[in-house]
Structure formats: C-alpha cells, structure tokens
Structure 1
Amino acid sequence: MASTNDASSVGRVAIVGTGSRGLMFVNGVAQRPGMTIVAFCEPNTVRAQYYNDHLESLKQPRVPVYPPEQFREMLLKERVDIAVITCIDALHDRYILPALKEGVRVISEKPMTTDVEKCRAINQAVKRYNGDLTVTFNYRYNPVHEAVKRLIAGGEIGTVLSVHFEWLLDTVHGADYFRRWHRSKSNSGGLMVHKSGHHFDLVNWWIDANPVEVAGMGRTAFYGAENGKRYGWAKDYERARGSDAAKGDPFAIHLDDEPVLKSLYADAEKADGYHRDQNVFAPDIGIEDDMALLVRYDSGVTMTYHLTAYSPWEGYRVMFNGSHGRLELEVVESKFREPAGPQITGGMVHGTEAMANAGGVRISVHPLWQRPYEVPVEYEHAGHGGGDSRMLSVLFGPRPGEEVDKGDASKQKAGVRDGTNALAVGLAANESFKTGRFVKIVDLNLEG
C-alpha cells in the first residue's frame, strides 16, 4: 500500500462512516479520475446501501462494505492507500491506529479524537510508524480566514497581543448537537472538543502559537429538561418522528421532510435503532451549551472565548489587538431564523448549503493614529465559506482542468500536531469545567 505525503490525484480510498459528512469525500474522490472509492466500513447496512446507490448515481462502481471488526482485513484485501475517517468522534482512534500501522495515509474528520488517552495513543502511533495523518480543518481553507492570516502575518497590526473570539450557534444549527449522538460527552467530548476544534485551530494557525494554559466555565444553560420547563420551550416527546407534540416545536427536526436525512437516518433506524431527531429538552442532555474560556499561548497572547449554542442568529466575531492596531472579523452566517421557515437540512448542518437568511462578512483594520479601513473580501456561504472545495483540492489534488489551490492553508498542512493543539484547548477546558482550576496543557501529556 502506498503512502503519500502531499496532494495526489491517484489513490485507492476507503470511507469509514456513512453519515451525511462522508458524502463530501465520496463526491470529491469521484470527481478525480485517478482516484477510486474501493470500500466502505460501516455497521449500518441501510446507510451503506445508500452510499453505494450514491456511487452509482455518480457513475462509479458499487464497492464492498465491511463491518468495523473487519477494518484491517479491508485495508489489506482492498489495497487501501487512503482511509478517510468520518464516523463518531469517539471512535476515530479505532481506525486511525491500525491504518497507521499498515502504512495507510489517514485523513480524519475533526476533531482527531475525544479524550487524553486516545490523543496520546494517536501521537505515539504517528511517531512509531512514521505515519501520515491529516486532520480536516476545513475552515483554514476559507478565503476569508486566509485573508486574516495574511494580514496578521504581514504585520498589519504589528505583534498580536490578545484575541477575543465569540461564536454563536443558532437555535437550528446549535440545537442540532442536542438532537443527535453529540449530546453525549462520551461520544463527542462536548462542544469544546467537537465544534470548537474549528475555532481553536483557527486561532493557533492565525497567530502561529501553541496553547499552554486554559481556564473555563461551562454549563447547560438553555437545553435539557429543567431549562426547557423553566423557560417555557419544553414539549413532551422523546423523538420528533411520529409525535404530534413535535409538529409545533420549532426546535424539532423532521427527517421525513429532507430526502438525504430520511435516507441516511429515518430509513436506517431499523438497522441500529439510532434516532437522529431526539428532543433537545430531554433529561439526558450531557453536554454544555454555554462556555467561556481564558487561554494563554506560548507567545504570551491571551484569548477570551465564548461559545453560545442557543443564539437567535449564527456567526462569529474575532478581534485581534496588536502592538500597532486592531483587526476585527465579523461573519454573519444566518441573520435570524423563522419557526415557519426552512428547518435544518443535511446541507445546512454541514455547511454545504447556505443557511436561511444568510448575512455578510466584514474585515476591518484599525491602525494606531490612523483612520480605520475595511478589507474587501468575497464570501461563499456554502461549503464552509468555500473551504470544503479548496481543502479537497489540497488533499486529493485538483479536479480535471483545475490547478491545486495554492492558498495560505495549503502551505501549512494540518497534521497530528495541529490536531493535538486544537484538541488540547477543548480537553483542558473540559477539565477546567470539572475542577474550577486553570489547567496546564503540558500536564495532560497529550503527545506521550
């Protein structure tokens, strides 16, 4: 089996996990003639069938489906060059470790994994087998984020001294993490690990620094049974499908109304009993929805960070204070949501479609003793701001007639160190939530 260390348009690819996110990789591989999907690894036979049907619709041959316990057999028998890991976050290590041992190039969805022990094991395996592991931080490839990277690296505001980052998930997208497997911290690590890996990696990359200490406070302030009753949002149902109570609930997702979600989840329930449309105000919510952090970096930079998962609008604001000025970024992904409007879809969950009521983007620079100015930038609301297509170009090579994207992100591959640094902030935050203390990342011993 070949292992490549740069973008290649030739390779035999296996996809692990057949949820909605994995379809992006299937489509990306199918668009590159030298690359081939050779297998799926998935315990749910109905979802695997949907993936094979999708392959046929792309004029690609159907491929064998292997259960998780036959993963190593799949690697050997199908001569896999690249394993793409898109399953439940807490299971990533089960596939990353044996793939690295067999010399297979690994591409893992973020986060790389979900706890300290698994992170340490992955780092040790990369060292032991000289493994090739990429973590898909697609927000790096977003042209707006690349513009911020260039401004900071070019010294537009001098030396960065502090950062403030506010991320708002709305009551459609944010609520979705409380309907599905992510609501259990044992599956996802909570939003500090699952979602915020996006944000922490961006800051690490933007300021070219490593996090060293974290303090945080987090709680379930809005979702869950007690909060639902307290604020008057609770409805009496376990899951939306087949429930009259869910029909009038703006927080409910209706799988039968969206073809992809119906095929991947509603129709697949009979295979594993997984319900994708659970009540966000249920008593078993196990993750936080309101989180505040203070992070210190080895460069001396400090960051204040706040994530809210129940906002009326969705987007983020980032402010960089420097020795010679200030840089501000504001991205409005959805200005507001309407109860009678479009409910969430698979594309809206994963950024392949623009959200309803999409807003704008603004980058402004405020030099000391000078007039502020705005930096012109174009923003694509679908595909994670254009990041997905550019990332696929870097990972798998360009499509026919295109050149590989040469943006800032392609010059700094997100490998195991980057995956670990992003994960470090989230894991330290979770520890701080429990202990109420500052947590030094070196004490976690994530690299082993």
Structure 2
Amino acid sequence: MTKKKYVIVGAGGRSLYMFAKPMATELQEYVDFKGVFDTNQTRARLLSEECGRVPVYNDFHHMLGEVKPDVVVVATTDYTHHQYIIESLEAGCDVVSEKPMTIDEEKTRAILEAERKSGKKVTVTFNLRFAPYFSKIKELIMSGTIGEVHHVHLEWFLDRDHGADYFRRWHSEMKNSGGLLVHKSTHHFDIINWWVDSRPKQLQAFGARQVYGDQGQPKGERCMTCEYTATCEFYKDITQDPFMTKYYAEAEHEDGYWRDRCVFDERVDIYDTMSVNLQYENGVFLNYSLVAYSPYEGWRATINGSKGRLEVGNIYRDANMSAVGVDTIKHYKLDGTSELIEVSAQMGGHGGGDAKLRTAIFAGGVEDPLGQQADSLAGAYSCLIGATANRSIAEGKLLQVPDFRLLHH
C-alpha cells in the first residue's frame, strides 16, 4: 500500500506520546513521517530526536510547501488549532486534530467553512469512543437494552493532582483553552452526543472558582521559586520529572512558558466547579457536572431509558485513566431485577482507546459499526456545548446551541 505523508504541528507531551512516537514506530507501515513544527524549536528538536530525527521546520507555511503532506496532525495549544487546521485545508491536506477541535463558536464556524470549501476532511481524535468500556455502553444502547434513552446524568471528578495541573498551565486562561468546559469536557460531551445520537439543542450552565485562582492566600509566581513550598498542598517540582525538565524547564528560554505557574495566580480565570443542564433535539436531557479538586478521580453516569437503566462509571489511578478494578456496567430492568455486565479492562492510554483510535485513523479500512470515528461536526458540537455553556455562565441565561449542520459537507 502507498504510505501517506504526514507532518505534525505541536511538540508537547500529547503530541509526542499520542502521535509522533507511534507514527515513527508501530505505524511506519502506513505513515511517512516527514516533518515537525513547533513555535518552541527546543521541543521540536527533542521530539525529532525521539522519532528517528524527522526533519524540524521553523516555519509552518514553509513545511507545508516543501513537504506537501497528505495529512497534517494538529496538536498545538487549543486557541491556535483553527489557524493550523484552516491553513492545512487550504493547502489541500486532510487534518487530524487533537481535541478540542477549537475553543469557540467563531473559530468552529471558520473551520467548517474551510473544510467545505477545500473538499478535504478534518478528523477529531476522541479516544474515549474507542475505549472498550465506553463502546460497550454504546453497543447496549444501540441494541435497545434500555429502550429509548430519555435522561443521562454524568458527573466527572478530577483529583487534586491531575485537576490542579490545568491551573498551572496555559489551560488556566479562558482565552487559551476555553476553560475546562471546552478543553476537558469536550471528551465528555462527545461521548454523550455519541451515546444519545442527537444534536445538542439548548442549555443553561453555572460555573465558579472555589479552590484555584486568586483566593487571597499567600503565593509565589511559580513552584520553582516559591517560598511557600513546605506548606502548599499544590507544590510541584517539575525538575523531578525528566520529561518535564527537558521539554519545559530547559525550553523556557525560547518563549518564557512556565509549566509550573502558581495555581492561585490572579490570571487564572477558568472555572474549577461546573454544572450544565442540556436538552437534545430528540428530547434527551443531560445533567452534567465537573469538579477539578476531588480527593480521587473518575466518573459516574446513569442512563435512563424507556425499558430500564444503566449505571456506569470508573475510578482511576492516574490521569491516563487506568482503572482501579474490573470494569462493570449495572443494567436494571423494569421488573426490578438487575444484571452485572463485565468489561475487560485494557491497558494503554485512555482505557485502551488511544491505540484503537490510532489504528482506525492511520491504518484505515477498519469497520465502524458503532460510528466511533469522529468528523468535524462531532468536533464542532462537543466544543459548542462547552463554548455555549461559557456564554450561559457569563450571561446567566438559557441559550441555544448553534446548529452548524448546513456548514458541514
């Protein structure tokens, strides 16, 4: 088979482990990895060295012109996704975008319009769709196990290590990430959109900063130079992690980006406590919540249908979603009886979803009876729920989720 030419823009941790390393090793049969660009050239060179010295470019436009790739993988900061996606489409390339596809309504519209005009394709990497536990729930819903779905309740809780980390990084400012309702919840909203198979119609949301951000306590600028390290619960020494040291601490001189900014910095303007009430076009209701300071990490959901109820969820050991025990789904029937459905826990990133997603995207030819591969419209709606929720919080009212179906080819 003919290999496709790929380039990557963005050389952070997600880019390296999710895309670049596999492209240079297990996916070599399908991928001709021809270049990497990052505004931080130190990180780009480090990624190149770990991936067989793939060419490093200091200009994205030049890389597109010289390589003429078939596909561009976009794994940059969220607020820059639209720039790279649109330029790639206009250059005649397909795009694989890390989630979220973008951070607001305006940028979403621009991407969909550019995709339609170019005739090329944007794929968004929603790895949770491929995790066996989430796909088993989709199978049960599709097979009518609980009849017609009417209501979903989903609570997601990040612990005080993983959750806090978003408040140290660029994600902590709304202008960069759209907040956790876009950056993190895009995963969760996409899963619900996929399970209930409908377009989000309208919502009302609430959000607050209860733990992080400027709470009036004594603080420093960053962990590395802080005088309160002995008393701060959130102190993190990034120099104890070889990857953090190389890719961030030793790359600061290029762009001044600190990977350990204080979680109480006054620039933090995203929420750590969020709640969304949403109605879908097919009448399904969703009650959703996210907190970023839980004592432990995981999620729980109930899915109520005309013929029964599913109770699902996982508790995790780490941010890579390694399950604590055997994954089970509890199915309650209308006669009051119940059954326990076991799902084999799989090793690998995001509950085994990362590897399956890569196979589907890069190898191709994989049957997709569950509709696990997500296109730009799926990327748009998961982002638009979060973006509309941010507006709802700011304006204090019920809002319609924009309908972008006509923009999608």
Work out whether the TM-score is over 0.5: yes
Distance (Å, rounded) in 1 between the aligned partners of 2:312 and 2:368: 19
Q: Which residue of 2 aligns with 1:361?
A: 327
Structure 1 residues 327, 354: CA separation in 2 closer, same or farther (over 3 Å shift)? closer
Q: Which residue of 2 aligns with 1:375?
A: 341
Superposed displacement of residue 15, structure 1: 0.9
Instruction: Give 1:301-380 correspondences, 5 Å limit.
Output: 301-334=284-317, 349=319, 351=320, 354=322, 358-380=324-346
Cα offsets for 1:316-335 (capped at 9, x unmatched): 0111111011011111013x
Structure 1 residues 195, 328: CA separation in 2 closer, same or farther (over 3 Å shift)? same
Q: Which residue of 1 aligns with 2:193?
A: 204
Residues 1:51 and 2:47 aligned together: yes
Structure 1 residues 434, 102: CA separation in 2 closer, same or farther (over 3 Å shift)? same
Superposed displacement of residue 412, structure 1: 4.0
Distance (Å, rounded) in 1 between the aligned partners of 2:113 and 2:347: 38
Distance (Å, rounded) in 2 between the aligned partners of 1:405 and 1:354: 25
Structure 1 residues 284, 311: CA separation in 2 closer, same or farther (over 3 Å shift)? same
Q: Which residue of 1 aligns with 2:267?
A: 284
Q: Which residue of 1 aligns with 2:400?
A: 440
Q: Which residue of 2 aligns with 1:29?
A: 23
SS in 2 for 1:426: helix
SS in 2 for 1:442: coil
Structure 1 residues 445, 405: CA separation in 2 closer, same or farther (over 3 Å shift)? closer
The one of 266, 289, 314 equivalent to 2:249 is: 266
| Mean CA deviation greater in 30-39 or 424-433 | 30-39
Distance (Å, rounded) in 2 between the aligned partners of 1:396 and 1:141: 14
- Look up the equivalent residue of 1:11 and give its one-letter code: K
Distance (Å, rounded) in 2 between the aligned partners of 1:288 and 1:201: 20
SS in 2 for 1:36: strand
Cα offsets for 1:95-151 (capped at 9, x unmatched): 100111121110000000011111110010111111210000011000000000000
Distance (Å, rounded) in 2 between the aligned partners of 1:201 and 1:157: 20
* Structure 1 unmatched runs, 5+: 1-7, 335-347, 399-403
Distance (Å, rounded) in 2 between the aligned partners of 1:243 and 1:221: 22
- Look up the equivalent residue of 1:33 and give its one-letter code: Q
Q: Which residue of 1 aligns with 2:178?
A: 189
Q: Is the 8 A contact 1:120 1:446 kept in 2?
A: no
Q: Which residue of 2 aligns with 1:159?
A: 148
- Look up the equivalent residue of 1:246 and give its one-letter code: T
SS in 2 for 1:114: coil
- Look up the equivalent residue of 1:442 and give its one-letter code: P
Q: Is the 8 A contact 1:333 1:360 kept in 2?
A: no
Residues 1:41 and 2:42 aligned together: no
Instruction: Give 1:287-302 correspondences, 5 Å limit.
Output: 287-302=270-285
- Look up the equivalent residue of 2:181 and give its one-letter code: M
Distance (Å, rounded) in 1 between the aligned partners of 2:376 and 2:195: 18
Residues 1:253 and 2:242 aligned together: no
TM-score (norm 2): 0.94
- Look up the equivalent residue of 2:118 and give its one-letter code: Y
Superposed displacement of residue 28, structure 1: 1.7
Q: Which residue of 1 aligns with 2:60?
A: 71
Q: Is the 8 A contact 2:222 2:261 kept in 1?
A: yes
Q: Which residue of 2 aligns with 1:99?
A: 88
Superposed displacement of residue 244, structure 1: 4.2
SS in 1 for 2:330: strand
TM-score (norm 1): 0.86
Cα offsets for 1:44-71 (capped at 9, x unmatched): 121112112211xxxx2x233223xx32
Aligned residues: 405
- Look up the equivalent residue of 1:27 and give its one-letter code: K
Q: Is the 8 A contact 1:9 1:32 kept in 2?
A: no
Superposed displacement of residue 271, structure 1: 1.1
* Structure 2 unmatched runs, 5+: none
Superposed displacement of residue 443, structure 1: 7.3
Distance (Å, rounded) in 1 between the aligned partners of 2:112 and 2:368: 27
SS in 1 for 2:233: coil
Distance (Å, rounded) in 1 between the aligned partners of 2:243 and 2:347: 20
SS in 2 for 1:203: helix
Distance (Å, rounded) in 1 between the aligned partners of 2:399 and 2:329: 33
Distance (Å, rounded) in 2 between the aligned partners of 1:250 and 1:140: 34
Superposed displacement of residue 248, structure 1: 4.5
RMSD over aligned Cα, in angstroms?
A: 2.0
SS in 2 for 1:126: helix
Distance (Å, rounded) in 2 between the aligned partners of 1:211 and 1:143: 25
Distance (Å, rounded) in 1 between the aligned partners of 2:368 and 2:338: 26
Superposed displacement of residue 32, structure 1: 2.2
Structure 1 residues 421, 446: CA separation in 2 closer, same or farther (over 3 Å shift)? farther
Distance (Å, rounded) in 1 between the aligned partners of 2:126 and 2:329: 21
Q: Which residue of 2 aligns with 1:395?
A: 361
Q: Which residue of 1 aligns with 2:224?
A: 241
Q: Which residue of 2 aligns with 1:19?
A: 12
Work out the percentage of aligned pairs sharing the same amino acid.
37
The one of 199, 202, 210 equivalent to 1:221 is: 210
- Look up the equivalent residue of 2:42 and give its one-letter code: V
